[in-house]
Amino acid sequence: MLAGNVVALLSPLIFIPVLTYGFGVQNYDYKSMAAIRLGNDEDIADAANTDLELIPGAIGATPEETAAEQKKLSRASIIAKSLTGFMTIAMLVLWPMPMYGTGYVFSKKFFTGWVSVGILWLFCSAFMVGLFPLWEGKSSMARTFKGVMNDIRGRGGAAKMRGRVVEGREGSASGSDQGVEKQAVSVEKSG
């Protein structure tokens, strides 16, 4: 674990300068990322019978919202950097170095505790990195899987939206799905 932590944490000291000077300095300012939410999803929202005003970030943010978001991101950045620094010092210095540097010979009980803490740490890390995101996103994954399966079977919202996008028409003014279904059928017949 120590060797893996040292390589993972210190390899950027080599990779970053080599890649930066090898490919040239990019000076990226992240403004293009702020423009991502400015896309127009009105046709998709209409097909899903959803109001764009209810979707966070769907309509251009006001300057106040942008400033509040930047403040939250700056705070999160400071927290992440602080925790990263603390964990680096804890994992590379505070925990292993005193044990190795003093030449202390582990007793059987101490070694058992040392290994137990290491294994517990690995299992907690595996849960937090591998399993928790799956659990946290289970409803989104289920919704996506259901949509994919409905699309494969040729029924459901995706088939209706596909016809709408290809035809490029709005459908009926009342917002019903009948116009969209007719467009989807006409696309399937013509293409």
Q: Domain count of the chain?
A: 2
Asked if the model's pLDDT at residue 31 lies above 80, the reply is no
Which amino acid, 85?
Answer: G
Predicted confidence at residue 90, as pLDDT, reads 86
Alpha helices in 37-95 (DSSP H): 42-47, 63-89
Q: What is the pTM of this model?
A: 0.41
Predicted confidence at residue 61, as pLDDT, reads 65
Question: What does each C-alpha distance from 153 to 124, 134, 146, 163 come to in angstroms?
Answer: 40, 26, 11, 15
CB-facing half-sphere around the CA of 136: CA atoms within 13 A: 7
Predicted confidence at residue 191, as pLDDT, reads 46
Asked whether residue 85 falls in the same domain as residue 155, the answer is no
12-50 CB burial, b ≥16 within 10 A, e <16: eeeeeeeeeeeeeeeeeeeeeeeeeeeeeeeebbbbeee
Asked if the model's pLDDT at residue 2 lies above 80, the reply is no
Contacts of 52 (CB under 8 A, 6+ apart): 41, 42, 45, 58, 59
Domain-terminating residue out of 108, 130, 157? 108
Domain-terminating residue out of 108, 124, 154? 108
Q: Which tens digit of pLDDT belongs to each residue from 83-130?
A: 999 988 887 788 777 777 777 788 899 889 988 988 998 899 888 888
- What residue numbers bound the domain in which 34 lies? 2-108
Match 């970053």 to its residue by tokens: 16
The reply to whether 154 falls in a domain is yes
Rounded to an integer, the average pLDDT of 154-172 is 50
Asked whether residue 156 falls in the same domain as residue 78, the answer is no
Asked whether residue 67 falls in the same domain as residue 26, the answer is yes
Q: Which tens digit of pLDDT belongs to each residue from 132-153?
A: 888 889 999 999 999 899 888 8
Predicted confidence at residue 108, as pLDDT, reads 93
